[in-house]
Amino acid sequence: MKKELKPTKHYGGAIEVPGDKSIAHRAVLLSLLAKENIEIINFPNNQDCNSSLSAVEALGVNVERSDSIISLTPPEKLDTTEDKIIDCGNSGTTARILAGIIAGSEISTTLSGDESLSSRPMKRIISPLTEMGAELFADENDTLPMKINGKKLLPFEYRLPVASAQVKSSVLLAGLASSCSVRVIEDVITRDHTELMVEHLGEGLEVRVIKAELVEDPNDPRKKKMIMPEDFKKEIKTSSQTKIIGGRVDIPGDISTAAFFLAGAAISKQTVTVAHLGLNPTRTAFLTHLKTIGCKVVISDKETVSGELRGTVTVTGAELKVKKISGSTTVGLIDEIPIVAVIAAFTEGTTVIRNAAELKVKESDRLQAVADNLRLAGIKCGLLEDGLAIEGGTEFSGADFKSFGDHRIAMAFTIASLFAVGPSSIDDASVVDISCPEFYELLGKVTKA
């Protein structure tokens, strides 16, 4: 569905965004392991999260919808029908986390997905789950479809080779499903929604975050220095006693969705407020980035609900400054890099983004997609081996932008079009349904005169 886009004369206002995708996936998928009902409030009605709902329903979970509440009743025993095929749609989170649960549940199932998901790497979960004793069979490229023969797994210790919350969650939940001990070590701390959800709905999970300690300098007793007592950042452990009981999950607004609307405030030098927004510390790198480049960011009404911090966020744009993005900052911004790149196009100077090679294997090659669209708008953009170099501050021309079948690319360049010189279009606006079907409706609220 091609959508015509025009520059806006007004930008700003107050909105609420749908529930957080990452949290919703986990609340749904944990129903496969729960002893009692799980009730979900503010479930985001997008294609990705509905893929997780359909998956658990196919395995025997009873799903009941009532307004914005979803009730999940776990079966006494998961459906063990032979040759069952579960379609994960476009959702990598569904496929990777579900693979771990199935691997430890002693059932046999095949996971499939759409064309995009079927091109994304699964070796990152196949390797550790195989080491735990599960049997997983994918094609020669280690992509979907993938047959999983679950079984009783072995105790396992795993140091994440890449910073991936999906891989971490897959391994931890495989151990939980099989009632075996698992220890996962992180060198770079990733999203911790799984740990928080298990703690909220269950018991028996151990989490240890390693913090630097002030000690005497052995070379000079008069001085002290900070050291890390371990050579890693975080340790998460399950045991045979770790379990999911059940309960209620109230999902906060998705900060990755809100990022697009807040970016508009940054570019326009206007103000946008988003209420009831998730503020998990592993997800707020975008707010930090906005402050770093010169925006005013105010957070109020903070509270913790269902184990997750939330609050009201108000962003006011200003004269923007260039900021290089790399290392752990890139990890924290990984979902927001497309809109960060758009902001960079409206910022005087050259923005360099590094350590973002992970974006090549998302719903699209996001680095290539961003570069192609920026060039269509007349912005100089260099495609690096693991990132982008964007020369901003020149005229951003309206153009016929391409979504590349990727919801975040479509949303990022829709926001860009609001501040372009001349009209634009996006070739397939319907892809926003993957994460936020309400996107264009919400956009109308901040662009209405």
Check: CB of residue 143 under 8 Å from CB of residue 186: no
- How far apart are alpha carbons 372 and 339 in whole angstroms? 14
- How far apart are alpha carbons 247 and 231 in whole angstroms? 36
* DSSP-assigned states of every residue in 411-439: HHHHHHHTTSBS-EEES-GGGGGGT-TTH
* Cα 51 to Cα 47, 141, 233, 247, distances in angstroms: 6, 23, 33, 22
- How far apart are alpha carbons 11 and 73 in whole angstroms? 44
Where helices occur in 132-273 by DSSP H, the ranges are 165-178, 193-201, 255-268
- How far apart are alpha carbons 384 and 306 in whole angstroms? 41
**How far is CA 100 from its chain centroid?**
18
Provide Rg for the chain, Cα atoms: 22
* Cα 233 to Cα 229, 333, 372, distances in angstroms: 10, 19, 37
Indicate the Cα dihedral angle 248, 254, 255, 257, nearest 10°.
180
Tell me which H or E stretch contains 349.
strand 349-353
Given the residues 114, 192, 335, 433, the one annotated as active site: 335
Q: Provide the residue count of the chain.
A: 449
Per the listing, tokens 């080779």 go with 161
**How far is CA 48 from its chain centroid?**
11
Closest CA to 197 of 307, 280, 96, 278: 307
Termini Cα distance of the chain: 26
Angle at 254 between CA 28 and CA 232, to 5 degrees: 80
Structure tokens at 333: 């911004």
Q: Which residues pair with 303 in a beta bridge?
A: 310
Q: At what angle do helices 92-103 and 123-131 cross, to 10 degrees?
A: 10
- How far apart are alpha carbons 26 and 249 in whole angstroms? 10
Secondary structure letter of residue 252 according to DSSP = P
Active site residue 83: no
Residues with catalytic function: 335
